[in-house]
């Protein structure tokens, strides 16, 4: 390894630590020593310092100790002769610099609290593009992707490319591989983030292109994100630096791209990243560190051309990624799912004011031709800019292992798979879908046929076991769309009724769902015919089909076994499964009660119910409602109090559909206990509430349920219940 790179990097470490010491000294002279410091809305203090040392930096005064550690980490300067080895001192210098970077960025939050945007998207109108540290809402949403494999890693890019066009090519190549791209630092006053904006690329968490900040110090946010993921999802304790760094090397596949001249401060930042097993690949002729050691392969590789830097980076990191090679003129992958097609970018759309329907149906093997995609009616080239058109997407699937039960599973995938096309935006499903096509996509030659090609390819890739043939037909003539819509609605109704007519007593097997254990390690959702999954995405039929498609997946069969309590809903087989799946943390729970040992709740539930003792009833609030509720807590507060995999008597998470299922809190008196819910939620399930009221002999029950227009305190709700004669007031006490 080069003496030159060691000399430069160690000198850079001294420079950075000295700068941080100066900034801290100035801060102590300007502010009170007890002034609070933090990365706003995060739970891990200054995460790099906290995760590696266990030190909780909460005030300006607290910064002194980690900065003293940084100063002690700085090694002696490289001697002219016989100074070997270099790598150990280089790593220490890098770590010292990173501690100093984190302190500098925390002080920036004190000095300039509005410098960073605490959100997922940039605000171009206000000229604010730097997002800084990801708050916990963003982190929880995105961090799990690094654990479950949907995001194989991230590229931390510092500096700027020679031109905006080159920057765009590099970033889009990473997006095709589903990587996140974290941007920091500038090169001669120009940043990669600004180049991408100039090139018309949308940046922000939604497109996985995250502009952290304009200085090299803001690269610390990338490492902080990685360490937070290790603590939150990997179970690594703060201060266990060895396990922390090994976890990142083995699980968070990241690397650095240095675009532009590498100065001493960039060099020591790169050295710091090597501690994590993250190598640096540069486009300039810098001294290299090639022998394998801390990193999987080389540590620093230089002089890589821009058209090779993506592939070289992936090879150097030892990252295994899959690129979806689909014959369409646009880039494709999950990185584009969050992309918006806004009004100014819109060429045309399908749905909105016109009908847009999707249907997947099983076919016989000899009925369809694999790979055949047909557009019946006008295509994109025939559309006028700015107009809306009808569309029906009809997918026929044949396979030796395919069943009609699998139809809704594949149908639900149309939303995600279409959204993965760059420049195409898909919203909704079933007969309320909506597809927006950007001008950029049309310029590149996008056709409706390409949606069919994507669905054909991805259904084969993702459902190899059950899909032998896939044929797609897209209709754009109104009469054809209306005809398919009528057929589809009949299918939807039949599917819903299939589950609706089932009872928990009619089956001996329920199904688990452990998808949310990344967020709530102790949580195990059990799905029965009369208790859909808390997230609303899975009913019993869906779980059954999912298990048949993927027998080792998150939806496992549970034999009910002996019924221990038919009123509250408790079975021995379920208890045994839950105890094992929660690693002994949950011994039992009840399906039909929120008062006595209710089912555990994760953070993904569609709604949360809570007791209202004065009213002798319950309220429920959906995730989308942001206002106050009669229990005194908003949805976000409730989720924080009783989410995370806990069984919380008096509260329970549930799906929207579950409210009108016959077993909804049946052990506590059933739906007659429901006294308050947000108006938007109430109207969404109005027809089902009216039908359920008729079933229980209270035809006007819908009108008896209070909402925020009546009041948001328990006293206001109680007064309303008295006026309308709500049945909850005449029931036995909810807690006996």
Read off the CATH number of the domain in which 29 is found: 1.10.8.190
568 and 708 fall within a common domain: yes
Tokens encoding 277: 């097993």
Residues 398-422: tens digit of each pLDDT: 987 888 888 888 887 888 789 899 9
Assess contact for 57 and 241: CB atoms under 8 A: no
Peptide bond preceding 85 in cis form (omega within 30 of 0): yes
236 and 291 fall within a common domain: yes
179 and 46 fall within a common domain: no
- DSSP-assigned beta bridge partners for residue 254: 154
CA-closest candidate to residue 23, choices 245, 166, 215, 256: 215
Widest pairwise Cα distance in the chain: 94
Top-confidence range, 14-23, 286-295, 639-648: 14-23
**pLDDT over threshold 50, residue 396:** yes
The answer to whether residue 536 sits within a structural domain is no
575 and 666 fall within a common domain: yes
Q: pLDDT band at residue 374, thresholds of 50, 70 and 90? A: very high
The answer to whether residue 505 sits within a structural domain is no
CA-closest candidate to residue 180, choices 129, 130, 216, 143: 143
Number of domains in the chain: 4
Read off the CATH number of the domain in which 353 is found: 3.30.1650.10
**pLDDT over threshold 70, residue 245:** yes
Domain edge (last residue) among 475, 499, 523: 499
Residues 429-486: tens digit of each pLDDT: 788 788 999 999 999 999 999 999 999 999 888 887 788 889 999 999 999 999 999 9
287 and 149 fall within a common domain: yes
Say how far apart CA 553 and CA 548 lie, in whole Å.
Answer: 9
Average pLDDT over all residues of the chain = 90
Read off the CATH number of the domain in which 582 is found: 3.40.1470.10
Q: Report the pLDDT value the prediction gives residue 381, as an integer from 0 to 100.
A: 93
**pLDDT over threshold 60, residue 552:** yes
411 and 289 fall within a common domain: no
485 and 397 fall within a common domain: yes
Query: How long, in residues, is the chain?
Result: 736
Q: Report the pLDDT value the prediction gives residue 464, as an integer from 0 to 100.
A: 78
Kindly state the average pLDDT of the residues 160-188: 94
The answer to whether residue 667 sits within a structural domain is yes
277 and 362 fall within a common domain: no
Q: pLDDT band at residue 222, thresholds of 50, 70 and 90? A: very high
The answer to whether residue 537 sits within a structural domain is no
399 and 494 fall within a common domain: yes
For the question of whether the overall pTM of this predicted structure is more than 0.85, the answer is no
The answer to whether residue 530 sits within a structural domain is no
Kindly state the average pLDDT of the residues 299-321: 88
**Contacts of 2 by beta carbon, 8 Å cutoff, 6+ apart:** 287, 288, 289
Say how far apart CA 392 and CA 359 lie, in whole Å.
Answer: 8
The answer to whether residue 130 sits within a structural domain is no
The answer to whether residue 597 sits within a structural domain is yes
Residues 56-75: tens digit of each pLDDT: 999 999 999 999 999 999 99
**pLDDT over threshold 60, residue 518:** no
Range of the domain at 641: 558-730
**pLDDT over threshold 80, residue 540:** yes
User: What is the three-state SS of 475-533?
Assistant: ECCHHHHHHHHHHHHHHHHHHHHHHHCCCHHHCCEEEEECHHHHCCCCCCEEEECCECC
142 and 279 fall within a common domain: yes
313 and 349 fall within a common domain: no
Residues 584-625: tens digit of each pLDDT: 989 999 999 999 999 998 866 889 999 999 999 999 998 878
CA-closest candidate to residue 696, choices 724, 673, 717, 675: 673
Q: pLDDT band at residue 1, thresholds of 50, 70 and 90? A: very low
Kindly state the average pLDDT of the residues 249-264: 93
The answer to whether residue 173 sits within a structural domain is yes
Q: Which of 96-110, 639-653, 680-694 has the lowest mean pLDDT?
A: 639-653
Of 381 and 151, the structure prediction assigns the larger pLDDT to 381
Residues 286-296: tens digit of each pLDDT: 888 877 678 88
**pLDDT over threshold 90, residue 324:** no
Q: Give me the percent of the chain exceeding a pLDDT of 90.
A: 65
Kindly state the average pLDDT of the residues 298-306: 92
Q: pLDDT band at residue 177, thresholds of 50, 70 and 90? A: confident
**Contacts of 546 by beta carbon, 8 Å cutoff, 6+ apart:** 409, 511, 538, 553, 554, 555
**pLDDT over threshold 60, residue 426:** yes
Q: Report the pLDDT value the prediction gives residue 85, as an integer from 0 to 100.
A: 56
Say how far apart CA 414 and CA 426 lie, in whole Å.
Answer: 9
575 and 720 fall within a common domain: yes
The DSSP call for residue 254 is E
């Amino acid at each position: 390894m080069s003496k030159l790179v060691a000399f430069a990097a160690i000198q850079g470490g001294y420079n950075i630590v000295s700068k941080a010491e100066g900034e801290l000294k100035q801060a102590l002279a300007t502010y009170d020593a007890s002034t609070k410091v933090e990365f706003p809305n995060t739970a891990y203090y200054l995460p790099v310092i906290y995760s590696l040392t266990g030190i909780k930096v909460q005030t300006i005064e607290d910064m002194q100790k980690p900065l003293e550690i940084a100063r002690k980490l700085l090694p002696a300067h490289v001697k002219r002769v016989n100074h070997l080895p270099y790598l150990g001192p280089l790593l220490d210098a890098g770590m010292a610099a990173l501690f100093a970077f984190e302190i500098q960025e925390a002080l920036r939050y004190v000095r300039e609290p509005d410098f960073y945007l605490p959100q997922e998207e940039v605000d171009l109108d206000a000229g604010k593009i730097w997002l800084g540290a990801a708050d916990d809402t963003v982190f929880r949403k995105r961090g799990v992707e690094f654990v479950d494999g949907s995001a194989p890693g991230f590229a931390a890019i510092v500096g700027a490319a020679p031109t905006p066009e080159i920057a765009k090519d590099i970033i889009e190549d990473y997006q095709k591989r589903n990587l996140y791209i974290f941007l920091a630092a500038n090169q001669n006053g120009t940043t990669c983030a600004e180049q991408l904006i100039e090139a018309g690329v949308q940046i922000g968490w939604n497109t996985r292109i995250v502009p952290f900040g304009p200085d090299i110090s803001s690269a610390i946010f990338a490492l902080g994100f990685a360490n937070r993921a290790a603590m939150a999802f990997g179970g690594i304790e703060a201060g266990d630096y060895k396990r922390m760094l090994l976890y990142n090397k083995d699980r968070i596949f990241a690397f650095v791209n240095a675009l532009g001249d590498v100065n001493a401060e960039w060099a020591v930042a790169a050295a710091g990243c090597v501690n994590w097993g993250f190598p640096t690949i540069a486009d300039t002729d810098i001294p290299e560190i090639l022998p394998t050691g801390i990193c999987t392969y080389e540590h620093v590789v230089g002089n890589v051309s821009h058209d090779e830097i993506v592939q070289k980076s992936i090879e150097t990191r030892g990252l295994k990624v899959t690129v979806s090679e689909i014959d369409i003129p646009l880039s494709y992958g999950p990185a584009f799912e969050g992309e918006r097609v806004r009004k100014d970018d819109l060429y045309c759309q399908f749905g909105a004011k016109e009908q847009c329907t999707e249907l997947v149906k099983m076919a016989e093997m000899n009925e369809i031709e694999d790979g055949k995609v047909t557009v019946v009616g006008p295509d994109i080239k025939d559309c006028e800019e700015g107009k809306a058109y009808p569309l029906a997407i009809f997918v026929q699937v044949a396979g030796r292992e395919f069943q009609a039960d699998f139809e809704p599973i594949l149908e639900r995938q149309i939303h995600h798979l279409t959204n993965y096309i760059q420049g195409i935006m898909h919203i909704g499903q079933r007969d309320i879908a909506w597809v927006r096509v950007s001008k950029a996509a049309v310029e590149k030659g996008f056709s409706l046929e390409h949606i069919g090609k994507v669905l054909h390819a991805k259904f084969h890739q993702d459902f190899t076991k059950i899909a032998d043939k896939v044929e797609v037909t897209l209709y754009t003539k109104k009469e054809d769309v209306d005809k398919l819509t009528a057929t589809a609605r009949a299918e939807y109704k039949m599917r819903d009724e299939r589950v609706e007519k089932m009872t928990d007593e009619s089956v001996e097997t329920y199904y688990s769902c452990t998808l949310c254990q990344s967020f709530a390690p102790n949580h195990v959702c059990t799905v029965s015919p009369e208790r859909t999954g808390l997230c609303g995405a899975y009913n019993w039929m869906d779980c059954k089909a999912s298990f048949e498609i993927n027998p080792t997946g998150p939806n496992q069969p549970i034999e009910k076994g002996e019924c221990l309590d038919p009123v509250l809903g408790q079975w021995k087989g379920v208890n045994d499964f839950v105890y094992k799946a929660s690693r002994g943390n949950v011994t039992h729970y009840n399906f039909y009660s929120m008062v006595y040992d209710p089912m555990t709740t994760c953070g993904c539930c569609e709604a949360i119910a809570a007791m209202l003792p004065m009213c002798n009833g319950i309220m429920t609030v959906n995730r989308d409602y942001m206002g106050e509720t009669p229990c005194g807590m908003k949805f976000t507060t409730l989720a924080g109090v009783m989410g995370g995999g806990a069984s919380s008597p008096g509260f329970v998470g549930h799906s929207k559909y579950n409210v009108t299922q016959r077993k909804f809190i049946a052990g506590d008196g059933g739906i007659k206990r429901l006294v308050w819910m947000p108006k938007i939620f109430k109207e969404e399930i109005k027809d089902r509430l009216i039908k359920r009221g008729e079933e229980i002999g209270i035809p006007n029950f819908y009108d008896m349920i209070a909402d925020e227009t009546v009041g948001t305190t328990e006293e206001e709700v109680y007064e309303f219940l008295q006026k309308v004669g709500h049945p909850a007031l005449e029931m036995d006490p909810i807690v006996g």
